[in-house]
Structure 1
Amino acid sequence: MLYFRYRYAIVFPTFVGLFLFTCNAHRDVFLLLCRVGFSVGYSTVLATLHVLAADSSAHLHAIGAAVEATQPMFLLLFDNVNKMQRAWQQVLGKRDTLQSGCASTLIGLEDVTEDAMDSRPFLKNLEDKKRKKSYTAAVWTKHVPSLRIHAADVTKKFRTTHAKHRLRLRKSDIRTMRNTDVDEAPTDGVAKQLQNLVVDQLRILGHWLQCWLIMVCGDQLSVDRIRKIKMYMGKGDTPFQRHDWALPIIQLWHLKWNWQKAIFRLHWYEPTGKGIFGLHHDVDLLSRTKFNHEKCEFYPAHHILEDRFDALMLDALRLLCEEKTGIIHPPKTSLLDGLELYFNAESKGPLKNITFDELDAFSHTVYRRYMCNDAFEDAQGNCPRDPAVHGPHIAADDIPLLVPIPMGEEDSESENETEPGGPQAAATATKRTRKSKGTRAKKAKAAEAVNSVGNDQCFATTVNFIRMTFWYLEMCAAIAEGDIGRVFEVLKVLRFSFWGAGSTNYGNEMLELACNFLYDFPPALQYAVLNNYLVNTTGLLGHWLELDLLQEHFNFWIKRLFNSKSHDFDSKHLSEAVGLNIHGISSIRDRFPSIFGFKKNHGKHKKATTTNDLNALGVHYRADCIMQYVPGRNGHVVPNEFFAGFGILDGGKLDEFLERTTRNAASVQPDNDLDVSQDEGRLPANPITSGAEGSMDLTQFSLGDA
C-alpha cells in the first residue's frame, strides 16, 4: 500500500533483496524479510535483475552501433567456465554432469589514437612477411624497520627512474556480457562464441569491420583457437568471414602462473636428507609439507617463492654488512634482529646513517653477485673470483662437513629425457607434445650430479633460483604498478627461458609476441595494445591487474550464483539476470553494508607474520653458507634455462618458427603440439597489488568506486 502512495518507498527493500541475492541467501530469508517489509520477494528480485540486464544489453548495442561510424573502441575478453552439477541420487539417465560454458567481458579502450585499429597496415605487414628478415632494496626496506625511512625513495625510483611505460591512472570501463553454453576448447566453439559476441550481442554488421581490428583477449588456449579459425577460414570471401578483424592477444596471468610452475619444476629436487639443499629442503624447513609442487596452486606457490627470495636477499644484506663493518654477530642472533643491530640508531649501529644512495649501491652489488647470468657463470668456477666483486673467499673447512649428494631412485624416463651433468642437455632434450591418455610430456628438471673439483653447484643452483624468482616477482610488481613497459622487459628474457624450461607452448607465444611488436604491428597499434594490456577496477594506484585474472573473478561469481540444477549457462537466468549484472552484483556486495555504518571491508587478507619463517631460513643459510661460494661443494644440477633456451632457438627452432609462421601467420603452435588440458584447482583469484611503500599484497577484488 505504501508503494502506491510513494513509488520510491520500495527502493530500499529492493536494494536489500539484491544484496541477499548476491549472498546466495536461502529463500526462507527472502520470505521472512519480505513479510516484515524489509525486502522484496525473490521473484521481484529476479524481475529487477532482468530489467537491469535489459539496460546493460542496450548499452552493449550502442557500443556496437558506434562501429558503423568509427573504429572499435573496445576489446573482448572471454574464458571457459565450468560447474559440476551433482545428482541427488545417481541412476541411469541421471548422474553428475559437468556444465561447460563461456563467460565474456567488454572493456573500453583508453589512450588510443585515431585509426589505431585500422587493419590494413597490419595485414600488409603480414603479407610482406617482414618477420623473416631493483627490486632488492624494496625487500630490505620491507623487513628491516630501521631502513623503512628509505621505502618512499625506493618506490619513487621504480615509478620514475626505472619506469618504462606506465599506464595513465584510470578506472577501466568494464561491461560483462551474456554467458553462453559454448565450449571454447574446440575451434568451432570459439567461432560460435565470436559470432555470439559480435553479431548477436553487439549487433555489429559484417561489412562494418571491413578495415577494423578488434582485440580479442584470452589465455593460451583461446588465442590459439582464434588463430586456427583465421587459418581455416582464410579462403572466405569477405574480411568478416576470414576473421581478419580478430586480433588475438595472449594475457599475462596464466603466463605468469606457467612461469611459476617452471620454477618449481626445475628447482624441486625430490630426494631430501642431510647435505641436500634447495627449494624442496626449504619448503620442508618451513613445515609447508602439504604443498603440491606438481599441481602448484598459485597463491601458496607465490608465498613460498616470495618468502624464500626475501630470506636470501636479507642474508645477502647480512653478508654485505659484515663485509663493510667487520662486525659479525653471534650465530644465535636471528637474521632480522642482526640486521636491525647494523642500522638501528638507538643501538648505535655502525650503518645507522646510511643514505639511500648507499643502500642503492648495496643493491647493485647484490645484483652482480647473485641475480644475473654472470653470477651463475662465476659459480661454475671457470674464472678467477675477484673479492671486490664477489666478496671474501671462504674455504670448505669453514663450513660443516660437506656431504656428497646421495643418489636417489632413478627415474625410468630420465635416460631418454636428460643427460646428467650438463644443464644444456637437461633442457634441450625436452619436447612438448600433445598429452595423450596415460602419458606426460617430458620437461627439464633438476638432475642428480656430483661436481668436478673447483665449482660450487649448491651456490650455482641458489643463484639460478634467485634469478628466476627475481624475474617472476618483478613481473608481479610491474603489473600491480601498471608499468607494462617493465612487464615487457621481463618477457624479453622469458622468450628464451620458456624454451629452456621445456614450456614450448609459451615459448612459441613469446616469439609470436616479439614478432608482432617488431614487424607486424604499426606504431599506433603497438601503443593501443600496450595501453590496454592491464585493467584497473578501482582507479587506485598499485591496483592494476591482468585481464584474464579479471575474467577468472567474474567466473567465480557466476559459479557462485549457479544456484539451480534446472539452469545451464545459456539459460535466461544465468545469461541475463546474472551474466549481464556481475559488475553491479559485485559492487552491491562490496558497498551495501556501509549504508548501515559498518566499517568497509577493504578486502585485504590479514598479512601473516613471516618473521619466524625468515629467521628460520636465515639460520640455515648462515650455518651452511648458502649465499657464499665454497669451491668443491656438491649439489643437484638445475639447468640454466636461459642459456639452454638460447641454444635451442639458435639450433634451429627459431628458423622453424619463422618459416612456419611466414608460410601461415596462424601457425604459431606446431600441429598437435598444444596441451589442451584445463588447469585444475583454480582458486577464487585475488590480485597482487602494490602498497604505498611498494610492498606487494593480496587484495580481494573490488569493483566499486575508488
Structure 2
Amino acid sequence: MGVWLVANAASSYIFTVLGRMGLCVSYTTTRNLLDGLSQSTRKVIQEKAKWRTFLLIYDNINRMLHVWDPEFGDKDVMDSGTAATFVELQDCDVQKALDADVLETARAKQMRKSLDIDVLYGRIKHDHLLDVMAVHTLSFLVQHVPSIIHMQEHLTLRLQTSLAIHCMWKGRKTNIYPSATSDHDEGSTGGNQKVLDDLMLRQLSLDKEEIPKLLTIVGGDQSTVEKVRMLKRFLSSCPHGYARYGWVLPLIQLWHMGWADLERILSTHWSKKNSASDISTFHFMNEKLGRKVKNVKRPDFYPAQALVFDTLQAEVLDCWQEVLDTNNLILYFDQNPKSVEDLLALAKKIVYMYMSTIGSQEACLRKNESDQFKAGSVWMNSGPKATAGDQVLGNTILRMRDSMLHYEFQCAVADGDIGRAMNIMAVWTFMFCGSGKSKYTNELLEIACNFEYEYSDALQEAILNNWLCNLTGLDGCWFPMDLLQEHNIKQLKVMSNERVSSFGSNYFKNVIAYNVRNFLEVKELLQVATGLAKKNGAHRRKKKVIGLKLLAQTMREHQLHRYREGRTYGHVAKDDFATGYCTLDGTTRISDFVKRTSTDTSDVHGIDEDSSMDEPGEGDDEIEVDEMLDIDDKIDNGNLSLEQE
C-alpha cells in the first residue's frame, strides 16, 4: 500500500492517517524499501553492463514550475531533464555484432555511393505487400460477419508463417531496467554528451578505455538521434577513443516515426480548403463521426489513429459490398458460403482496385476505360466538374492505400515482425519525401545505406532482434521502445508534480526513477486486486459500431466506391509515393545525401535541412496527378500499383 501511495504522489499526511488506521506502513519505511530496491537495480545494471549486452533508450522529460505567489520579476520556468532505460540485448552475438572495427572498415569502402532510385525501389517487397494487404482486407470482413469468424485463425496463422519476414522468438520477454534521471537536457548537442557520460561512466561504471572497443546502440526519437550524430560530427577529430563518441551507434525508434506518418496521412487527405463537404477527406469523416481530431503538426496520436482506422474499416466493408454486389454482408454469407482462398482472391482484387496507385490513376486520369469500377449515377453537382475522371474516387483510393499501409505497420509491430515493419518503412522513404518530411526521408535513406552496404549480418541481426520490446512475452504485445520510454516518462511526470526537487536530485533519481516500472505495475495490480480493473470497453465498442453504421450509410448514399465521371469537390489528394519517387529520381536528392554522408557518416541531415520546403516536389501541393504518368512503367510493376498478373 505504501508503494502504491508513492506511485500516486500521495502526501505524507495521507501516509500518517492511513498508518494510524493500520492500512499502510509509514512513509519512512516505504522510502527505505524503495532505496533498497534502487540500490539492487543499480548493482544488477552495473554487473550486466560489463558484458556490453545492452542498448540505451532515452528521451527528454520536462515540467513547468509555476510561481504561485509571484513577486516582481518572477515567472514560470520550464524544468528539463532526461530519463533513460537500460535494455538487455537478446538473440545476438555481441562480440561480432558490436565490433566497431568491422563497421568502420565497411564504411571506409564507401559502398553507399551505389545507392540509387533502383536500390530504394527494390527494397520494397511488392508481392508481399499485395498478399498482406489482402489478408487485412479479408480480416476486416471476417470480424464483421459472424458466420465466417472462424477464418480469423487461418488469417492470423498466415501472417505468422508464410507472410512472416523477420519475427521475434515466440514467448520472448524483454528485460528492461529504468535508469536514474538527470538534469541534463538532451534537446541540445552538449546535453547529449552529458547524458551519455552520465549513463556510461557514472551509472554503469564502465571504463573509458574499454567503452570504444564495442559499439553501444543508443535509441531515441528523430530529434535525439540527430543530436547524437551532431555530437559525433563535432568531436570526430578528437584523437582519444572515448571522447570521439565513435562507439555510439544511434538507432531511430519507431513509434515517433509512425506518429509522423499519421500526421502525413491526415495532412495529405484532410483538404487544404478545410471543407467538410468532401467525403474523400478526413475532415469530412471527422465531422461525420463527431471526432475532435485536428489537422495540425503532431496531432494527438490515438484519436488520429482511431479516425484513420475506423474510416479504413468502413471503406473496406463498403468495397466488399461493391465486389459481392450486396447491401447486407451478413445475410450474403449466410446464403453464399465461400472458402478462405476464394475470399483471399477477391480481397486481392479489392486491394488492386481500391488501394493502389494505378487504381487512383484509373479513376482520375483514364476515365475508367477498363470498366474497373461499377458505374454510379450521373454526377449532378452544380459546382465545377473534375477535368478528368472521378476525383473523389481517386482521392479515396489514395486515402485507403495510405491508411492500409499504416495499419500494416502497426500490425507488424504488434506481431513482433520487424521485417514486415521495415517493408513499410521502405515505402515510407518515398512517401515522406513526397510529403515534404525531409528529416524522416534522410533517416530512412540512412537506414537503407546501413542495411544494404555497411552493417554486418551479425549487427543487422542484433538490431532487428532488439528494435521492439515485449514486457509480457505474450503474442501481439510487441511495441516500439520509444513508446516504452514515453510510458515511463508519463509516470515520472505524475510523480514530479508534487515536488520542487529537480529531476537530477538525489530523491528523484535514486528513489523514483529506478522504481518507475514498479510504480506502474503496483498501480495496475492493486486496481485488479480490488475489482477496479480497466473497463472492458463495451460502451466504446458500441459507439464504434454506431459510427461504422453511420459511415456505411453515408458511403452508400454517396456511392463512394463507384465511378461517377466529373465528380469533385475541389480537393485533389497528392500521391505522396509518386511525388516522392519523382523527387528522388528527378533531382539530386539521393546524390547529395550520398556525397554528404560519404564524407561524414554523421552528416545525415546537413546544415540546410531544417526547412521541409527546400527541394522541388517537397511540400508542393500543386503537383497534379498527371505529372506522375512518366513513372507508370516503374510503379505499375509492383504492388504499390498492384497490377494483376
Q: Could you say whether these structures have the same fold, taking a TM-score greater than 0.5 normalized by the shorter chain as the test? A: yes
- Range that drifts further, 171-180 or 235-244: 235-244
Paired amino acid for 1:647: C
Counting only pairs closer than 5 Å after superposition, residues 249-648 of structure 1 correspond to structure 2 as: 249-269=251-271, 270-272=273-275, 277-288=280-291, 290-295=292-297, 296-322=299-325, 328-329=326-327, 338-344=328-334, 349=335, 351=336, 353-382=337-366, 385-387=369-371, 390-392=372-374, 394=375, 398-399=377-378, 401-404=380-383, 451-453=386-388, 455-592=389-526, 598-599=530-531, 601=533, 607-609=540-542, 610-635=544-569, 636-648=571-583
- How far does residue 167 in structure 1 lie from its aligned partner after superposition? 0.6
Paired amino acid for 2:110: K
1:433 counterpart residue number: none
Unaligned runs of 5+ in 1: 1-15, 323-327, 330-337, 406-449, 677-706
Distance 2:318 2:492 in 1: 45
Distance 1:167 1:276 in 2: 40
Establish whether residue 54 from structure 1 lines up as the match of residue 43 from structure 2.
Answer: no
Unaligned runs of 5+ in 2: 115-134, 613-645
Kept in 2: contact 1:495–1:507 (CA 8 A): yes
Distance 2:580 2:573 in 1: 14
- Range that drifts further, 193-202 or 556-565: 556-565
Which secondary structure does the structure 1 equivalent of 2:266 belong to? helix
Which secondary structure does the structure 2 equivalent of 1:537 belong to? coil
- How far does residue 639 in structure 1 lie from its aligned partner after superposition? 1.2
Distance 1:547 1:137 in 2: 30
- How far does residue 400 in structure 1 lie from its aligned partner after superposition? 5.5
1:103 counterpart residue number: 83
Kept in 2: contact 1:399–1:624 (CA 8 A): no
Distance 2:300 2:378 in 1: 36
Q: Deviations over 1:419-463 (max 9, x none)?
A: xxxxxxxxxxxxxxxxxxxxxxxxxxxxxxx6324x211111001
Distance 1:601 1:87, change over 3 A: same
Kept in 1: contact 2:270–2:281 (CA 8 A): yes
Kept in 1: contact 2:293–2:303 (CA 8 A): yes
- How far does residue 605 in structure 1 lie from its aligned partner after superposition? 5.1
Kept in 2: contact 1:478–1:487 (CA 8 A): yes
Counting only pairs closer than 5 Å after superposition, residues 107-126 of structure 1 correspond to structure 2 as: 107-113=87-93, 114-126=95-107
- How far does residue 212 in structure 1 lie from its aligned partner after superposition? 0.6
1:129 counterpart residue number: 110
Establish whether residue 86 from structure 1 lines up as the match of residue 66 from structure 2.
Answer: yes
Distance 1:593 1:648, change over 3 A: closer
Distance 2:441 2:267 in 1: 16
Distance 1:501 1:43 in 2: 55
Distance 2:323 2:366 in 1: 24
1:696 counterpart residue number: none
Distance 1:568 1:300 in 2: 32
Distance 1:281 1:645, change over 3 A: same
Distance 1:452 1:572, change over 3 A: same
1:440 counterpart residue number: none
Paired amino acid for 2:80: S
- How far does residue 47 in structure 1 lie from its aligned partner after superposition? 2.3
Distance 1:102 1:675 in 2: 27
Aligned residues: 584
- Range that drifts further, 486-495 or 615-624: 615-624
Distance 2:527 2:573 in 1: 52
- How far does residue 143 in structure 1 lie from its aligned partner after superposition? 2.0
Establish whether residue 184 from structure 1 lines up as the match of residue 186 from structure 2.
Answer: yes
Paired amino acid for 1:297: D
Paired amino acid for 1:232: F
Distance 1:674 1:46 in 2: 46
Distance 1:146 1:402, change over 3 A: farther
Distance 1:201 1:93, change over 3 A: farther
- How far does residue 276 in structure 1 lie from its aligned partner after superposition? 6.3
- How far does residue 374 in structure 1 lie from its aligned partner after superposition? 1.8
Kept in 1: contact 2:379–2:564 (CA 8 A): no
Kept in 2: contact 1:399–1:625 (CA 8 A): no
- How far does residue 377 in structure 1 lie from its aligned partner after superposition? 2.1
Distance 1:173 1:618 in 2: 45
Distance 1:20 1:125, change over 3 A: same
Distance 1:573 1:399, change over 3 A: farther
Which secondary structure does the structure 2 equivalent of 1:207 belong to? coil
- How far does residue 382 in structure 1 lie from its aligned partner after superposition? 2.9
Q: Deviations over 1:460-491 (max 9, x none)?
A: 10011011111111101110110000000101
Distance 1:234 1:603, change over 3 A: farther
Kept in 2: contact 1:479–1:545 (CA 8 A): yes
Q: Deviations over 1:58-80 (max 9, x none)?
A: 1122123x24xxxx200000000
Kept in 2: contact 1:459–1:629 (CA 8 A): yes
Kept in 2: contact 1:275–1:402 (CA 8 A): no
Distance 1:275 1:556 in 2: 38
2:622 counterpart residue number: none
- How far does residue 383 in structure 1 lie from its aligned partner after superposition? 7.4
2:638 counterpart residue number: none
Distance 1:307 1:466 in 2: 11
- How far does residue 321 in structure 1 lie from its aligned partner after superposition? 1.3
- How far does residue 18 in structure 1 lie from its aligned partner after superposition? 1.2
Distance 2:517 2:185 in 1: 23
Paired amino acid for 1:37: G
Paired amino acid for 2:161: T
Q: Deviations over 1:639-684 (max 9, x none)?
A: 11101101111121011111111111111012142479xxxxxxxx
Paired amino acid for 1:339: L
Q: Deviations over 1:198-232 (max 9, x none)?
A: 01100111211232111000000110111111111
Paired amino acid for 2:301: F
